[in-house]
Amino acid sequence: MTVQLNDIRRLIAAITLSVVVAFGINAQVDAAMSHFWTAQGYYNPAAAGNLNAIHLQLGSRMQWVDFKHAPMTFYITADMPYKLLEQRMGVGLKAEFERIGLYTNARIGAQIAWKRKIGKSMLSVGIQPGIFSQTFRGKEVIMPEDEAHQGNDEAIPKQDVSGTAFDANVGVYFTHPKFWAGFSVTHVTQPTIELKVSRESVDYYAFNVSRGYYFMGGSNIPINNTLFEIQPSAMFAMTQKAWTAQVATVLRYNRMFNIGVGYRHKDAATAFIGVNLKDAYIGYAYDYPISAISKATFGSHEVFVTYKVKLENREKNKNKQKSIRLM
């Protein structure tokens, strides 16, 4: 039974790789983070600088852990508020490393957000220029040996190939004391990455990246006369050929302990747990698949850590500070 399952996996992988490389499909490459409500900067550059702090986040997602070459994503975001000529701004950095099958993706971008205060609310518009680097490990390709497949298919590279292209994200973000909402577009330029054996090579394989559209929103609802708060959130994502939606509800106690559940449309049910340790937050999310893939995997895991270094509020403090004070 194990041999048959492995043969099926190799066959599916070979067919998928053939289609991807030969026809250059429009691929959606952003990770589907279950904790999207705390990874807003991953999808939307306009979220940079929304806190009066240097905000760092490190996260990882291990999807379908029982599959060989299953998707693995590691990312880091860092942002802080900034003032330029009395203009409120946010600046940040996003770096991501991802392995999907025989593909390795690396993305890095700088985030800049312009902010305008509207009463008690804040409206932000952000951009994220950067680069998208990709490698396909052609030396690891395994083709099934039967009459239906050609071992020397020219559409599939037999050597490692790589390429880099300019990439950019844009977004709008709105915060209110009681709720937040955002809209972003990733891979605005729809880059085509030319995968080559070397820079001097004339022949290449094209990998087309399609735009991603993300709508996110959430709220914080205190429960009267208790130390509990309910934090519901939702995200709708789509590309030119597909869409997905997910919701999450987190119960927070004493602004310290979090526990919650989530659901991704026709894909997975999620459980969250997290704890605040002064200026740090450590969280974990587990996805249990509800689609047919549940027959081959026990699920996906996410681990994330955030850390905040609070900044002086210079508008309220007339004394100039040359250093950052930990709060």
- Residue carrying structure tokens 């914080």: 220
Q: Hey, what amino acid is at 277? A: L
Going by C-alpha positions, the residue among 114, 217, 112 that lies closest to residue 169 is 112
Q: For residue 129, give the nearest of 237, 45, 240 by alpha carbon.
A: 45
pLDDT tens column, 159-168:
899 999 999 9
Amino acid at 130: G
DSSP H helix total and E strand total for the chain: 2, 18
The three-state secondary structure class of 26 is: strand
Mean per-residue pLDDT for 257-273? 96
Q: What local confidence, expressed as pLDDT, does residue 87 receive?
A: 87
Q: b/e for 272-308, b at 16 or more Cβ within 10 A?
A: bebebeeeebebebbbebeeeeeeebebbebebbbbb
CA dist., res. 94 & res. 116, Å (int): 23
Domain residues of the chain, as ranges? Answer: 2-220
Cβ of 34: how many Cβ atoms within 10 Å? Answer: 26
- Of the candidates 248, 310, 325, the one whose C-alpha atom is nearest the C-alpha of residue 53 is 310
Q: Is the torsion defined by CA of 11, 14, 17, 19 positive or negative? A: negative
Q: pLDDT grade, residue 8 (50/70/90)?
A: very low
Model confidence pLDDT, tens digit, residues 59-110: 999 998 877 778 899 999 999 999 888 889 999 999 999 999 889 999 999 9
Compute the radius of gyration of the chain from its Cα atoms. Answer: 22
**What angle is formed at CA 64 by the lines to CA 291 and CA 301, rounded to 5 degrees?**
110
In this model, does residue 17 exceed pLDDT 90? Answer: no
pLDDT of residue 314: 52
End-to-end CA distance of the chain: 59
Helix (H, G, I), strand (E, B) or coil at 98: strand
pLDDT of the residue at 115: 96
Angle at 5 between CA 142 and CA 137, to 5 degrees: 25
Q: Is 319 exposed, middle or buried (0-12, 13-18, 19+ CB in 10 A)?
A: exposed
How confident is the prediction for the chain on average, in pLDDT? 85
Asked whether the beta carbons of 210 and 239 are under 8 A apart, the reply is yes
b/e sequence 186-206, b meaning 16+ C-beta within 10 Å: bbbeebebbbbbeeeeeeebe
